[in-house]
Amino acid sequence: MQIDLSGRKALVSGSSQGIGLAIATQLARAGAAVVVNGRTADKTETAAAQVRNDVPGAEVTAVAADLASSEGAEQLQAEVPDLDILVNNLGIFGAKPVLEVDDDEWRHYFEVNVLSAIRLIRMYLPGMTERGRGRVLNIASDSAIVTPVEMVHYGVTKTALLAVTRGYAKAAAGTGVTVNSVIAGPTHTPGVEDFVHELVGDDQEWDDAQRQFMREHRPYSLIQRLIEPPEIGNLVVYLSSDLASATTGGAVRVDGGYVDSILP
């Protein structure tokens, strides 16, 4: 399949590192003009420079804004009034016994992982529907379906994101705009490396730590390894293209077979 996103503008929230940066890079490879976002100017500019280095000739804009707040979202929209592709990737996670998660932490997780996506959809979906073309993608997680005991608060927000996706897909029905979730499985990022070492100890080499983590904490993975970020990006590129015009309201898995179900 030849996927050409030339002439499309794409925003990837929380794309200064990890999965978001990989998604931005893969969209740029497909020809999209990409907006990279992070909370600080330095990290965001560095990420944009990395995309330009990896994809010579790419059109990349860096916008530093904290999208966990309405002020940050409004700042972003002022700099980027319209989009063809919105990828809500911003999210936080961390291990903590669920009985120790207080109200403030629950609220913070919902602000970052759920409301940031809702705000941006509310801002950009009307323009897409008016033009009769657009893609909204919410990066969810296997934790939306298989709630992890070590981070229930995270899993609950990702479950909510699946419902957000389905609801806004209905709002966009018949307009030519699609809204989907991408269910990402356990993925190799710097943050996940820290998480893995937190769970299995930091006194062993990464390959050994990863194997122990998958064996003890993610034993149902069929690929039996962490997913690499560009593998998430590849699915996002496809769902952003005209080839995926009949896929909407869905929860599409790139989880390494971790979710033990024939349906999401």
pLDDT digits (tens, 9 = 90+) for 182-234: 999 999 988 889 989 998 998 999 999 999 999 998 899 999 999 999 999 99
Kindly report the length of the chain. Answer: 264
Nearest to 55 by CA among 240, 237, 255: 237
C-alpha to C-alpha distance for 98 and 259, rounded to whole angstroms? 22
Residue 144's pLDDT band, with cuts at 50, 70 and 90, is very high
Res 49 pLDDT > 80: yes
Res 264 pLDDT > 80: no
Distance between the two ends of the chain, CA-based, in angstroms? 25
**Exposure b/e, 180-191, CB count within 10 A at least 16 = b:** bbbbbbbbbbee
C-alpha to C-alpha distance for 208 and 228, rounded to whole angstroms? 17
Angle at which helix 103-110 crosses helix 152-171, to 10 degrees, equals: 40
Residue 177's pLDDT band, with cuts at 50, 70 and 90, is very high
Give the start-to-end residue ranges of the domains of the chain: 9-187+227-254
Residue 158's pLDDT band, with cuts at 50, 70 and 90, is very high
Across all residues in the chain, what is the average pLDDT?
A: 96
16-20, 145-149, 192-196: range with lowest mean pLDDT: 192-196
> Is 168 annotated in the active site?
no
Q: Name the DSSP class of 180.
A: E
Residue 37 CA: distances (Å) to CA of 24, 100, 127, 178: 10, 31, 20, 22
Q: Which residue among 109, 154, 168, 258 is the active-site one?
A: 154
Residue range 96-125, pLDDT digits in tens: 999 999 999 999 999 999 999 999 999 999
Averaged pLDDT, 32-52: 98
Res 79 pLDDT > 80: yes
Res 1 pLDDT > 90: no
Provide the percentage of residues in the chain whose pLDDT is more than 70: 100
User: Do the Cβ atoms of 252 and 212 come closer than 8 Å?
Assistant: no
User: For the domain 9-187+227-254, what is the CATH code?
Assistant: 3.40.50.720
pLDDT score for 190: 86
Provide the percentage of residues in the chain whose pLDDT is more than 90: 91
Q: Give the H or E element holding residue 73.
A: helix 70-79
Averaged pLDDT, 15-30: 97
